[in-house]
Amino acid sequence: MRAQLDGLVAAGRVTGYTLEEDAGYLYAENPTLTYRMYAQGPESHRNLGEFAAAVAELGPRMRLSRVEGVVADGGRLWRSRQLCLTAEFPGEQGLAAAADLVHRRFTALPGAAAGSWRLPDVRMVGGRPLGTVTAYAHHWAHADADAVVLTLEPAPPLPGAVTRRLRILESWLAFLERREVAVAS
């Protein structure tokens, strides 16, 4: 599967994919948000810690997992080690507050938390927070790591995927439409 997904990224048919230790957010029954951050460097760890502390005040159940991200970068594949914080809320109000928190404090703008991404990889199920749009997660389950590709179309790029509708930040539209370079944080 990985070689096939690498080929799709290299050919520009998809913008990238993730290999995820925990893709359970795709099947969550409660409103759920995932927030991803690079796994290396003190600035990344500080950012993830600040996000976890801020979102914890909203009362979700949280868990941390490992992710590998793969995108095209100047004609080659760029792989990044990431950490993913999954926050599951008892209601849509918490999900909306968490999405607002990402917009206000954890998107790389003046005054943002150190280490914030310019285009944060945030995925949401179970609600429609302001500043988000519909996307589709195509999921291939594997014993070692699940593969997930995000697209704007419901048809999976390879057979055998389970497709789930979710919400992403509106800023990710440009990336998924291939109008933005993804690797710059």
Q: Which H or E run contains 69?
A: strand 61-73
Burial 27-50 (b: 16+ CB within 10 A, else e): ebebbbbbbbbbbeeeebeebbeb
Q: What is the pTM of this model?
A: 0.91
Give the pLDDT of residue 105: 93
CATH class held by domain 2-176: alpha beta
Which candidate, 33, 26, 34, places its Cα nearest to that of 136? Answer: 26
Give the pLDDT of residue 83: 95
Both structure tokens of 1: 């599967």
Provide the 10 A C-beta neighbour count for residue 179: 8
User: How far is CA 87 from its chain centroid?
Assistant: 12
Helices then strands, each counted (H, E), the chain? 4, 8
- Where do the structural domains in the chain lie, given as residue ranges? 2-176
Going residue by residue through the chain, which has 185 residues, state the pLDDT in tens, using 9 for 90 and above. 899 999 999 999 999 999 999 999 999 999 999 999 999 888 888 999 999 999 999 989 999 999 999 999 888 999 999 999 999 999 999 999 999 999 999 998 888 898 888 889 999 999 999 999 999 999 999 878 899 999 999 999 999 999 999 999 998 988 888 754 444 33
What is the C-alpha separation between 169 and 129, in angstroms, rounded?
9
The values of phi and psi at residue 171, to 5°, are: -65, -20
Q: What is the DSSP string of 88-152?
A: E-SSHHHHHHHHHHHHHHSSSSTTPPTT--SS--EEEES---TTEEEEEEEEE--SS-EEEEEES
Give the pLDDT of residue 114: 86
Residue 26 DSSP one-character state: G
Encode pLDDT of 115-134 as tens digits.
Answer: 888 889 999 999 999 999 99
Give the pLDDT of residue 179: 53
Q: Which H or E run contains 17?
A: strand 16-20
Cβ atoms of residues 10 and 72 within 8 Å: yes
Both structure tokens of 90: 């008892």
Cβ atoms of residues 163 and 53 within 8 Å: no
Residue 48 DSSP one-character state: H
